Amino acid sequence: MNITLHGQPETPEHSAAQHIAEMLQPNVSHIDGEIAVRSGITLFGQKRRDVDILVMGRCPAGIPVELWDATLPKSKTDKYARISAAFFSFVFCIEVKDHCPTDVVFENTSAWVRYRDKWSDATKQNEDQKYSLLKYLDNFLGWRPFVCNLLWFRNLDEHALPEFPNNFLPATFTFDDFFSKAAAQMTGFNDEGLRCFHSTKKGRAEDLLVEEVRLFSIFDQYRATAGNLTRARLEKITRERLLGDQRYSEAIGEKLIQIRGRAGTGKTIKLLHIAFDLCVRRGERVLVLTYNRLLVSDIRRMLTLAGIDSAMDR
């Protein structure tokens, strides 16, 4: 099995993605197929544009797995009964949370995490990521594979999570644990006593295997293009001295600030940097208004190109 790891090194997401790749390797090294583990995916034009980790795999012969099955009686040695299964293709969308245990609570099937003094629905965020990914893939494939979304709490032990089934991963987990959490979201079919899973209907499984390589290159092309746009645009703005040493954010709330200039001179990027400065350094809430729905997508894209932390775009 060929496992490739993509992403920006020295980032928390990439470190987490590397951990998953290393967990998968010894269990699939003897099998023909391909798995790509990608960190820091940007889905331009989507409501939720950031995905921490994307795992896409294909295996013509199937990857053998021993799954948990909460519907069967527990055994004497295992918490849950286990069944033999095989994954032929899969797409996993993983959100990584590094919150401490006191900043995570579970309510029914939802997980909530605390940012400063506010609680955020991490489960909804993860669901939004999944559907944004589905739309993004649909734009290029013309159809949607089945996507499993997982929440990985890297500072929580298994006993701190709700009872299985759920899509929560603890700090440490095994190969079988990983696929069991995904299988709980999928419908498998039985083939001679073996539960089989595909990320798409059987007739399209082969199509996904063929299209995965093209999909991987699309992500790389977007990232390369975004990098070029970032350098070109920011260099232009710097040359024109638009981003001088004025302390605009300190004046917000004290007087009216207007930023005026011709098209393309960087007014929007400057405003976004002021908003970011207000959020991060002063803990302020910022509302960004624009007069056109198309410009909303453009502003989201600018947040990425300007290197502004995506956690701020809520």
Please, which residues have CB within 8 angstroms of residue 66's CB and are 6 or more apart in sequence? 82, 83, 84, 85, 176
Q: Is 233 a domain residue?
A: no
| Together in a domain, 292 and 214 | no
Residue 126: what pLDDT? Answer: 95
| Together in a domain, 152 and 286 | no
| Together in a domain, 203 and 275 | no
Cα dihedral across residues 282, 99, 102, 312: positive or negative:
positive
Residue 163: what pLDDT? Answer: 87
**Beta carbons of 268 and 242 less than 8 angstroms apart:** no
Residue 308: which domain range? 240-313
Kindly list the distances between the CA atom of residue 140 and the CA atoms of 74, 166, 296, in Å, as whole numbers in the listed order.
Answer: 43, 30, 22
The burial of 223, by beta-carbon neighbours within 10 Å (0-12 exposed, 13-18 middle, 19 or more buried), is given as middle
Residue 209: what pLDDT? Answer: 57
| Together in a domain, 266 and 172 | no
Q: Is 232 a domain residue?
A: no
| Together in a domain, 127 and 268 | no
Please, which residues have CB within 8 angstroms of residue 299's CB and are 6 or more apart in sequence? 268, 272, 288, 290
**Beta carbons of 96 and 113 less than 8 angstroms apart:** no
| Together in a domain, 65 and 201 | yes
Q: Is 153 a domain residue?
A: yes
Q: Is 234 a domain residue?
A: no
| Together in a domain, 25 and 94 | yes
Q: Specify the residue for token string 């993004």.
A: 136
Q: Coil, strand or helix: which one is 244?
A: coil
| Together in a domain, 188 and 103 | yes
Q: Is 253 a domain residue?
A: yes
| Together in a domain, 212 and 251 | no
Q: Is 168 a domain residue?
A: yes
Q: Is 75 a domain residue?
A: yes
| Together in a domain, 307 and 166 | no
The count of domains in the chain is 2
Given 160, 186, 221, which residue is the final one in a domain? 221
What are the start-end ranges of the E strands in the chain? 2-6, 34-42, 50-69, 81-97, 104-107, 110-115, 118-121, 148-153, 168-169, 189-191, 194-197
Can you say whether residue 145 is alpha, beta or left, with left for phi > 0 and alpha for psi between -120 and 50 degrees?
A: beta
Tens digit of pLDDT at every position of the chain (314 positions): 889 898 888 888 999 999 999 999 999 999 988 898 989 887 766 778 889 999 988 888 899 999 977 665 555 556 667 889 999 999 999 999 999 999 999 998 899 999 878 899 999 999 999 999 999 888 877 888 999 999 999 999 999 999 888 999 999 999 999 999 999 998 888 887 789 998 877 666 666 656 655 665 555 565 565 555 554 554 454 444 444 456 777 788 888 888 888 877 778 878 877 887 777 677 777 888 888 777 777 777 677 666 565 555 44
Given 163, 194, 221, which residue is the final one in a domain? 221
Please, which residues have CB within 8 angstroms of residue 222's CB and are 6 or more apart in sequence? 42, 44
| Together in a domain, 258 and 121 | no
Residue 49: what pLDDT? Answer: 80
Q: What is the DSSP letter of 73?
A: P
Q: Over the stretch 131-144, which tens digit does the pLDDT of each residue have?
A: 999 998 888 778 88
Of residues 40, 32, 31, the one with CA closest to residue 13:
40
- Nearest 5°: the CA angle 124, 128, 131 is 140
Residue 157: what pLDDT? Answer: 94
The per-residue DSSP string of 128-172 comes to: HHHHHHHHHHHHHHSS----EEEEEETT--GGGSPSSSSSEE-SS
What gap in Å lies between CA 136 and CA 149, rounded to an integer?
15
Residue 130: what pLDDT? Answer: 95
Q: How many helices (H) and strands (E) does the chain have?
A: 7, 11
Residue 40: what pLDDT? Answer: 85
Q: Coil, strand or helix: which one is 182?
A: helix
What is the longest distance spanned by two Cα atoms in the chain?
74
Q: Is 128 a domain residue?
A: yes
**Beta carbons of 161 and 184 less than 8 angstroms apart:** no
| Together in a domain, 117 and 14 | yes
**Strand pairing category for 2-6 and 34-42:** parallel
